[in-house]
Amino acid sequence: MTGSDAGRPVTMRDVAAAAGVSVATVSHVVNDKPGARIGPETRRRVQAAVADLGYRPNAMAQNLVRGGSKFIGLVADAIATTPFAGQIIHGAQDEAWRHGYVLLVANTEGNDAAEKEALAMMLEHKVRGVIYSTWYHRRVELPPTLTESDHVLVNCFATDPGVRAVIPDEIGGGRTAAQLAIDAGHRRIGFVNTTTASPARDGRLIGYRDALKAAGLPVDERLIMDTRPDQEGGYAVVPALLERGVTAVCCHNDRVAMGVYDGLRERGVGVPDDLAVIGFDNQEVIAAHLRPPLSTVALPHYELGAAGVRVLLGLDDTAVTGIVSIPCPPVRRASA
Amino acid sequence: MTGSDAGRPVTMRDVAAAAGVSVATVSHVVNDKPGARIGPETRRRVQAAVADLGYRPNAMAQNLVRGGSKFIGLVADAIATTPFAGQIIHGAQDEAWRHGYVLLVANTEGNDAAEKEALAMMLEHKVRGVIYSTWYHRRVELPPTLTESDHVLVNCFATDPGVRAVIPDEIGGGRTAAQLAIDAGHRRIGFVNTTTASPARDGRLIGYRDALKAAGLPVDERLIMDTRPDQEGGYAVVPALLERGVTAVCCHNDRVAMGVYDGLRERGVGVPDDLAVIGFDNQEVIAAHLRPPLSTVALPHYELGAAGVRVLLGLDDTAVTGIVSIPCPPVRRASA
DNA sequence: TTGAAAGCGCTAACAT
DNA sequence: ATGTTAGCGCTTTCAA
């Protein structure tokens, strides 16, 4: 006989009755309470009854009496739009699990009402805290409801002081990208930035400049150009790149790099021999399957999610600012 | 004063005290109970107290007394590996939400132990049921624990009789792919299948044959070839394709199509004028950004997830077999 | 070594 | 129109 039977679920009382003991005793053996002295024979009987009846503790009752759940809420603005959000969820999920927590996931698609509802739902489930995440790194306004519970921002940040946040280290990432080119012996390294303002735009450029300076290379402003952050943008910038005589180029993201590939191929310019190309984001489907495979810098989405729950649970120290930034590691393939 | 204060959370008793009424009254107004006659003045006082104290109902207490939660469990074998799983989650999430349910998501990465743990956790939270999903369409063995609760399979199926499942209509999809070529006026249409056995491999081929026959076209077995289901596979099959003189080709998936593009470009064969190419899966990052953008057939992941919860909740009828199959719609772009 | 009993926050009969 | 009360399944003193 197991819990799978249609009838009323097996409770602790049922187990107690079957084992001929009190519910208190059952509770003790089931939870393996440290300070509980249970006779070996009794323990055996209880365990047998548990197995026999297919007993499962009722988490809601446990939560009620303990006055707090083992839930962590995760609100994401775009589960579907990109594989990125999935990685954040995955990291958060693994880390939460590791600490005995369960993730309550809500998707808002940027909809304020959905967001508010999601937050309310989480509050009502007395979550331990909530992780508020966005699919691309940006500044956000804190939904008022969010502050009603313990919270940490992931892949985004607020201007309000003291709001903990976990974000990718864009500056370090920009440095890493440029270093990939420098290490390959390049001296004229272009930087194709995006036209749209963002922490990524600013940070990666700073990192690029840093790396060049650190390597004793001049920073030629003419080698820094802006374009739309997509394939078309990359394609369009190729003539300028060629004209300026760069031997390597760091792109704002992998999609831009993909467009650069297109433009280069059209002109018979080989990658990486004639021109080395470096991407950003490490968007698997693009980067790994381009020919040649694209060297790039990874956005640490999994780690962002994982760090988010660690910060929430107070396992990771945050700097005084409350902001922790996660490194963006290089991914060496064949384009640089 | 709101619930955000650090102290003990605001309970219904607090509200009752503040409003000078009993908890029963508070319960009635908070839940807007139909048969409850509450004086307008009392109702006002209660609502004021609720707002004033920032009261939030405790979902766990509600669940306890109601004897069942508003949770639906979703176990996925790969949240991260592909954007696909994300879409399933998204669809399930939206649909669950629509019916007042909350999704409990667990990721197993194909790990049996993780799976068992996840299922146990869901059972302990007395979920309404669980959706068991895989990131690619395949047959699965049912984890024994799964049968302890109401369940439906999504994007996979079991051989055990009577197990409800929601899967993509591969045959219809194959038909749709071929039809895309037929509609464009092609008569010699190749089919590049995968070498690895799967419902997709079998179903799509059947659909291809069906469509040709329905259009009164001969099915030339020489135009059907197998290759590895990735870019390299697509690239490798191009010579055979050209040699057999097809004017259009349906590929097993978008990645194969991507490889076909590569091979074609290398030989100066234009898409779609010299050779029309049709993919399968509608993997955004690939399909929409290839040049020319790839015409393909979409896998209905979002719908699979949504249908999964509807089936679970008994909102959608399933056929006698318990299997419901979801159409794979065509996505017309520029390659065919 | 075990059991009795008091709640956790809420809902739903049943009183009043 | 509103209040009293008995649980929901469990944990946890405290007593035996």
Q: Using 50, 70 and 90 to split pLDDT, how confident is the model at B3?
A: very low
Q: Using 50, 70 and 90 to split pLDDT, how confident is the model at A288?
A: confident
**pLDDT at residue B263 above 50?**
yes
Q: Which residues touch strand D (CB under 7 A)?
A: A 8-9, 11-13, 23-24, 27-28, 30-31, 33, 55-58, 61-62, 64-66; B 20-25, 28, 36-39, 41-43, 61, 64-65, 67
As a rounded value in angstroms, the CA-to-C1' distance for B314 and D6 is: 33
For residues B107 and B51, the answer to whether their CB atoms sit within 8 Å is no
Nucleotides of strand D under 7 angstroms from a protein beta carbon: 1-5, 7-13
- The residue-averaged pLDDT of B243-264 equals 96
Quick one: which of A161, A109, A108 has its CA closest to A130? A108
Q: Using 50, 70 and 90 to split pLDDT, how confident is the model at A286?
A: confident
Where b means 16+ CB within 10 Å and e means fewer, B176-187 reads bbbbbbbebebe
Tokens of B131: 């959706």
Kindly list the residues from chain A whose CB atom is less than 8 angstroms away from the CB atom of residue B60. 60, 63-64, 69, 125-126
Rounded to 5 degrees, what angle do the CA atoms A235, B236, B233 make?
85
Looking at the partner chain, which of A56, A85, A105 has a beta carbon nearest the beta carbon of B105? A105
Cα Rg, chain A, nearest whole Å: 27
- The residue-averaged pLDDT of B11-15 equals 95
pLDDT at residue A34, rounded to an integer: 81
d(CA B173, CA B199): 12
pLDDT at residue A80, rounded to an integer: 67
CA distance B308 to chain A (A): 17
Instruction: Tell me the average pLDDT of chain A.
Output: 94
Quick one: which of B283, B324, B328 has its CA closest to B176? B328
pLDDT at residue B4, rounded to an integer: 45
**Number of CB atoms found within 10 A of residue B36's CB:** 13
Kindly list the residues from chain B whose CB atom is less than 8 angstroms away from the CB atom of residue A262. 291
For residues B72 and B131, the answer to whether their CB atoms sit within 8 Å is yes
For residues B151 and B130, the answer to whether their CB atoms sit within 8 Å is yes
CA distance B222 to chain A (A): 29
**Number of CB atoms found within 10 A of residue A33's CB:** 12
CA distance B123 to chain A (A): 7
Quick one: which of A307, A250, A318, A297 has its CA closest to A278? A250
Residue nearest to nucleotide C3 (CA to C1'): A22
- The residue-averaged pLDDT of A329-334 equals 98
Amino acid letter at A66? R
Tell the burial category of B117 from Cβ atoms under 10 Å away from its Cβ (0-12, 13-18, 19+): middle
Amino acid letter at A91? G
Least confident of A110-114, A177-181, A326-330, B208-212: A110-114
Q: Using 50, 70 and 90 to split pLDDT, how confident is the model at B7?
A: low
- The residue-averaged pLDDT of A136-151 equals 95
Model confidence pLDDT, tens digit, residues A193-221: 999 999 999 999 999 999 999 999 999 99
d(CA B241, CA B191): 9
Please report the domains of chain A, with CATH numbers, ordered by start residue.
5-65 (1.10.260.40), 68-169+302-327 (3.40.50.2300), 170-297 (3.40.50.2300)
Nearest residue on chain A to B115, alpha-carbon basis: A97
| Residue ranges with strand state E in chain A | 71-76, 102-107, 129-139, 151-157, 165-168, 189-194, 224-227, 248-251, 276-278, 296-297, 323-326, 330-331
- Interface touch A80/B60, C-beta < 8 Å: no
B142 is near strand C: CB distance < 7 Å: no
Model confidence pLDDT, tens digit, residues A165-201: 999 999 999 999 999 999 999 999 999 999 999 999 9
- Interface touch A4/B147, C-beta < 8 Å: yes
CA distance A6 to chain B (A): 9
As a rounded value in angstroms, the CA-to-C1' distance for A9 and C3 is: 24
Tell which A residues from 297 to 326 touch B, by Cβ distance under 8 Å.
Answer: 302
Model confidence pLDDT, tens digit, residues B127-141: 999 999 999 999 999
- The residue-averaged pLDDT of A242-246 equals 97
Looking at the partner chain, which of B80, B94, B97 has a beta carbon nearest the beta carbon of A86? B80
- Interface touch A283/B285, C-beta < 8 Å: yes
* C-alpha count within 13 angstroms, C-beta hemisphere, residue B217: 21
d(CA B203, CA B190): 16
Model confidence pLDDT, tens digit, residues B141-190: 999 999 999 999 999 999 998 899 999 999 999 999 999 999 999 999 99
Q: What are phi and psi of B182, to 5 degrees?
A: -60, -45
pLDDT at residue A191, rounded to an integer: 98
3-state DSSP call for residue A323?
A: strand
Tell which B residues from 136 to 155 touch A, by Cβ distance under 8 Å.
Answer: 147-149
Give the containing element (helix H, strand E) for A48: helix A40-53
pLDDT at residue A5, rounded to an integer: 47
B57–A contact, CB cutoff 8 A: yes
pLDDT at residue A301, rounded to an integer: 96
Least confident of A1-10, A74-83, A188-197: A1-10
pLDDT at residue B2, rounded to an integer: 46
- Percent of chain A scoring above 90 in pLDDT: 85
B133–A contact, CB cutoff 8 A: no
- Percent of chain B scoring above 90 in pLDDT: 85
As a rounded value in angstroms, the CA-to-C1' distance for A7 and C8 is: 26
As a rounded value in angstroms, the CA-to-C1' distance for A146 and C10 is: 24
**What DSSP letter does each residue of A123-183 carry, written as one string?**
HHTT-SEEEEEEEEEEE-PPPGGGGGS-EEEEEEE-SSTT--EEEE-HHHHHHHHHHHHHH
d(CA B2, CA B52): 7
Tell which B residues from 10 to 49 touch A, by Cβ distance under 8 Å.
Answer: none
Tokens of B84: 């696909």
For residues A264 and A294, the answer to whether their CB atoms sit within 8 Å is no
**pLDDT at residue A3 above 50?**
no
Model confidence pLDDT, tens digit, residues B25-58: 999 999 998 877 888 999 999 999 999 999 999 9
**Number of CB atoms found within 10 A of residue B128's CB:** 21
Q: How many CB pairs under 8 A join A and B?
A: 137
Model confidence pLDDT, tens digit, residues A96-134: 999 999 999 998 988 999 999 999 999 999 999 999 999
* B266, B289, B309, best to mutate vs chain A, most A CBs in 10 Å: B289
For residues B284 and B258, the answer to whether their CB atoms sit within 8 Å is no
B296–A contact, CB cutoff 8 A: no
Tell which B residues from 80 to 119 touch A, by Cβ distance under 8 Å.
Answer: 80, 82-83, 85-87, 89-90, 93-94, 97, 102-107, 114, 117
pLDDT at residue A193, rounded to an integer: 98
**pLDDT at residue A1 above 90?**
no
- Interface touch B86/A85, C-beta < 8 Å: yes
